[in-house]
Structure 1
Amino acid sequence: MDYGIYTQFFVAMLAIVNPFGLLPVFMGLTSHQDQAERRRTAMMAAFASAVILWVVLLLGEDLLKFFSISVASFQVAGGVLLSFTALSMLQGKLGETRRTTEEGREAARMESVTLVPLALPLIAGPAAITTVIVFTQAHHSLVDKGALGLAIGILALVTWGVFLCAPMLARWLGTTGINLITRVMGLIMMALAVEFMAKGVKGLFPALAG
């Protein structure tokens, strides 16, 4: 077992989901809820996002085969998507690839925000789904999928814990602290995007690999 790959996957997913960066959004979407309801929303949103990513982990490879998409092509496309999200995060923003302005306005009017937009697309967004599929394509044995699935579960627990402590963390970190974390996560994500695109280009054009 290559534990380095699993660690890389977890760090990449943590940077992409960026639960600390989602604190202001979570606080805003649950502002109408009391403490018990907010805790329940945090738990269910984290669990729902894990289920979504687990389904992608199991079926993502079959989905690519169904549409006859090569791994290399998906790596390039995924790298481009991640780079857009990373650029937005480097500016301290959530990113339109995870939630559009119209979706934000609609979410503000929704009574229940657990599944949409919290679990999908804020936590288990396009970038997270893309990363799961790319890693699954490269490491598709039963042991690998089990380890990646465990990493997704740990990520869900971390997200749940951050959301549970949202009021305290928001006061402690402040806007500056949250933006700083978001920018660091964006830098990690940008490096991951470059890695994805480099592998994809090499796969599409083997001569470039030397």
Structure 2
Amino acid sequence: MTSGYDIANAFLLVYAGLFPIVNPIGGAPIFLGLTRHCTDAERNALALRVTINSFFLLLGSLLVGSYVLEFFGITLPIVRVAGGLVVAATGWSLLQARDEFADDRTAHKPKIPTDAFYPLTMPITVGPGSIAVAITLGSQRPRVPFTQLAFLGAAAIAGVVAMAATIYVCYRFAEGTVGALGQQGTNVVVRLSAFILFCIGIEIIWSGYSALAHVAG
């Protein structure tokens, strides 16, 4: 019989496993930088849509991700390399972007993102690292009776729900949190976050390459 400890452990395993790699706190400045010229209503709507997209992306990776990769013959290292390239490219693009939101007098306003999936949901919020972690967690299903597996699965899904709620809170209040730094402070945080995002992309690429080299060796 499934105990409360097992259910709590399944919940915490998913939430604690996803939180460091999803890192919604660190993603909030990037989200704010990309939606700087949105109205509050537009930004809040985008935050909600990103949250919903992230939930289904993580849930899908958790439940069927390993089967999808197996069907197409794709390995996790390949996902890391390809996804890392996208993450690094996004970070580099943000680093090279003109500091337009610091000066409202510029003639050309940055394009307000209307697609909440790319790049706000993927790869900024749920990148290849997050997908790889979710797939790994989903592939480690214990061999227990179906009734117990159902309880553990519900707890794991609850962990994804909690992760999505954390994303929404961080993005929903990004303006108030980061905006307290002022324009210059916000610029610094966004640039620093973009550089960290670029470094994360390189790290993901290296991780995938190392795994491939190990298999080839």
Shift of 1:68: 5.5
Counterpart residue number, 1:26: 31
Distance 1:118 1:4, change over 3 A: same
Counterpart residue number, 2:170: 162
1: CA distance, partners of 2:112 / 2:179: 25
TM-score, normalising length: structure 1: 0.64
Give deviations 1:21-78, integer Å, cap 9, x for gaps.
Answer: 1122111111121111111111111111111112222221322432457xxx74xx39
Q: Which amino acid aligns with 1:47?
A: I
Distance 1:110 1:39, change over 3 A: closer
**2:153 pairs with 1:145:** yes
- Is residue 29–residue 113 contact of structure 1 (8 Å, CA) maintained in 2? no
> Greater shift after overlay, 135-144 or 121-130?
135-144
RMSD between aligned residues: 4.0
**2:23 pairs with 1:12:** no
Identity, % of aligned positions: 23
- Rg (Cα) greater in structure: 2
Equivalent residues in 2 for 1:9-158, closer than 5 Å: 9-67=14-72, 74=76, 77=77, 81=80, 96-97=87-88, 99-102=90-93, 109=111, 111-139=113-141, 141-158=149-166
How many residues of Structure 1 are paired with residues of Structure 2 in the alignment? 173
Equivalent residues in 2 for 1:176-195, closer than 5 Å: none
SS at match of 2:63: helix
Distance 1:54 1:96, change over 3 A: closer
2: CA distance, partners of 1:165 / 1:129: 25
Shift of 1:100: 4.8
TM-score, normalising length: structure 2: 0.62
Distance 1:164 1:138, change over 3 A: same
User: Which blocks of at least 5 consecutive residues in structure 2 are unaligned?
Assistant: 1-5, 98-109, 143-148
2: CA distance, partners of 1:177 / 1:44: 24
- Is residue 98–residue 121 contact of structure 1 (8 Å, CA) maintained in 2? no
